[in-house]
Structure 1
Amino acid sequence: MLIAGVDIGNNSTEVAVARIGAEVQFLSSALVRTIGLKGTLRNAMCVIDAVDKAMAAVSMTRNDLDLILLNKATPVIGDVAMETITETVITESAMIGHNPDTPGGLGLGQGVTVDIRDLTQTAPGAPCIVVIDGDVDFTQAAEMINAAAAKGVKITGAIVKKDDGVLIYNRLTSPIPIVDEVQHIDKVPLGMPAALEVARVGRSIEKLSNPYDIATLFELSPEETRQITPIARALTGNRSGVVIKTPKGDVQERRIPAGTITLVGETAKETVDVELGADAIMEKLARVAPLKEIQSQPGTNAHGMFERVRTVMAELTDQPVSLIKIQDVLAVNTLQPQHVLGGLAGEFTRGTAVGLAAMVMTQNIPMQRLAAKLKEETGVEVEIGGVEAEMAITGALTTPGAEAPLAILDLGGGSTDASIIHRDGTVKSIHMAGAGDMVTMLINTELGLDDPDLAEDIKRYPLAKVETLFHMRHETGAVEFFDAHLDPSLFGRVAILGENGPIPIMHDLNLNQIVNVRRKAKEKVFVRNALRALEQVAPGGNIRLIDFVALVGGSALDFEIPEMIADALAEYGPVLGKGNIRGCEGPRNAVATGLCLSRKGC
Structure 2
Amino acid sequence: MKYITGVDIGNSTTEVCVGQIDDKGMLKFLSSASVETTGTKGTPSNVKGITRALTDALGKIHRKIEDLSVIRINEAAPVIGDTAMETITETIITESTMIGHNPDTPAGAGLGTGYIYPVDEIDRLQVDRAYICLVNEHIDYEKAASMINELMRTYEISAVVVQKDEAVLIYNRLNKKIPIVDEVKYIDKIEIGMKAAVEVAPEGHSIIKLSNPYGIASIFSLNAEETKHVVPIAKSFVGSRSAIFIRTPKGSVKEQAIQAGELSIYGEKSLERVQVDLGADEIMRASNKAAPIVDIEGESGTNIGIMIDNIKKSMQDLTGNDNSVKIQDILAVDTLIPMDVKGALAGEVSMENAVGIAAMVKTEHLPMEKIADKLQNETGVYVKIAGVEAVMASLGAWTTPGTTLPLAILDLGGGSTDAAILDENGLVKSVHLAGAGQLITLLINTELGLNDLNLCEHIKRNPLAKVESLFHIRMENKDIKFYEKPLSPKLFGKVIVMDKEKMIPINSNITMEKIVEIRKSIKKKVFVQNAVRALNMIAPDNRLRNIPNIVLVGGSALDFEIPDLILEELSKHKIVSGRGNIRNCEGPRNAVATGLLMSYKGQGKVL
What are the superposed Cα offsets for residues 191-227 of structure 1, whole Å, 9 maximum, x if unpaired?
Answer: 1111110001111100000000101111111111111
Alpha-carbon shift at residue 318 of structure 1 (Å): 1.8
CA distance in 2, matches of 1:144, 1:88: 40
Q: Does residue 124 of structure 2 align to residue 121 of structure 1?
A: yes
Q: Distance in 2 between matches of 1:305 and 1:74?
A: 20
Q: 1:395: which partner in 2? A: 396
2:157 aligns with one of 130, 147, 155: 155
Distance in 2 (CA, whole Å) between partners of 1:500 and 1:206 is 41
Q: Which residue pairs with 1:319 in the alignment?
A: 321
Q: Which residue of 1 aligns with 2:597?
A: 596
Mapping of residues 150-549 of structure 1, within 5 Å: 150-151=153-154, 153-320=155-322, 322-549=323-550
Asked whether the equivalents of residues 14 and 49 of structure 2 are also in contact (C-alpha less than 8 Å), the reply is yes
Are residue 94 (structure 1) and residue 98 (structure 2) matched?
yes
1:67 aligns with 2:46: no
Q: CA deviation at 1:500?
A: 4.2
Letter in 2 for 1:95: I
C-alpha distance in 2 between matches for 1:513 and 1:95: 27
**Does the CA contact (< 8 Å) of 1:87 and 1:255 recur in 2?**
yes
Residue pair 1:159, 1:180 contacting (<8 A) in 2 also: yes
CA distance in structure 1 between the aligned counterparts of 2:470 and 2:398, rounded to whole angstroms: 48
Counterpart amino acid of 1:258? A
Q: Report the equivalent of 1:104.
A: 107
Q: Using the alignment, how far apart are the partners of 1:89 and 1:598 within structure 2?
A: 62
How far does residue 180 in structure 1 lie from its aligned partner after superposition?
A: 0.3
Shift in Å at residue 356 of structure 1? 0.3
Between stretches 447-456 and 80-89, larger displacement belongs to 80-89
Which stretch shifts more, 156-165 or 12-21? Answer: 12-21
Aligned equivalents of 1:145 and 1:469: distance in 2?
Answer: 41
Deviations 1:460-504 (A, max 9, x none): 011111111111111001111122222222211111111242222
Deviations 1:81-126 (A, max 9, x none): 134386865643232222x232121100111111111111021121
Give the whole-Å Cα distance in 2 for the aligned partners of 1:115 and 1:211: 27
Q: Distance in 2 between matches of 1:330 and 1:504?
A: 31
How far apart are the structure 1 equivalents of 2:360 and 2:160? 53
Aligned residue number for residue 143 of structure 1: 146
What secondary structure is seen at the aligned counterpart in 2 of 1:201? Answer: coil
Maintained 8 Å contact 1:23/1:601: no
Q: TM-score, normalised by structure 2?
A: 0.97
Preserved contact between residue 194 and residue 247 of structure 2 (Cα < 8 Å): yes
Aligned residue number for residue 573 of structure 1: 574
Q: Which amino acid aligns with 1:464?
A: A
Offset at 1:456?
0.1
State the one-letter code of the partner of 1:226.
K
**1:389 shift after superposition:** 0.5
Letter in 2 for 1:96: G
CA separation of 1:569/1:147 partners in 2, compared to 1, >3 Å: closer, same or farther? same
Provide structure 2 residue ranges, at least 5 long, that are not aligned to the other structure. none
Aligned match of 1:39? 42
In structure 1, distance between residues paired with 2:479 and 2:93: 43
8 Å CA contact 1:89, 1:342 repeated in 2? no
Q: State the secondary structure of the residue aligned to 1:26.
A: strand
What TM-score, normalized to structure 1? 0.98
User: Where does structure 1 lack aligned partners over 5 or more consecutive residues?
Assistant: none
- Maintained 8 Å contact 1:84/1:256: no
* Number of aligned positions between the proteins: 599
Displacement after TM superposition at 1:354 (Å): 0.3
CA contact (8 A) 1:192 1:245 kept: yes
Structure 1 counterpart of 2:53? 50
CA contact (8 A) 1:20 1:599 kept: no
Tell me how far 1:541 sits from its aligned partner.
Answer: 1.6
Aligned to 1:26: 29
Asked whether the equivalents of residues 80 and 353 of structure 1 are also in contact (C-alpha less than 8 Å), the reply is no
Distance in structure 2 (CA, Å) of the matches to 1:328 and 1:58? 41
CA RMSD of aligned residues (A): 1.3
- Identity score, percent: 50
- Call closer, same or farther: CA 1:420–1:106 in 2, change over 3 Å: same
Which string of whole-angstrom CA distances, capped at 9 and with x for unpartnered residues, describes residues 64-95 of structure 1?
Answer: 00111110111111222134386865643232
Superposition deviation, residue 316 in structure 1: 1.7
Counterpart residue type for residue 68 of structure 2: L
Report the 3-state secondary structure (helix = DSSP H, G, I; strand = E; otherwise coil) of the residue aligned with 2:257.
strand
Tell whether 2:556 aligns with 1:555: yes
Q: Hey, what's the Cα distance between the residues in 2 that align with 1:601 and 1:203? A: 68
Distance in 2 (CA, whole Å) between partners of 1:395 and 1:282 is: 31
Shift, 1:600, TM fit: 4.5
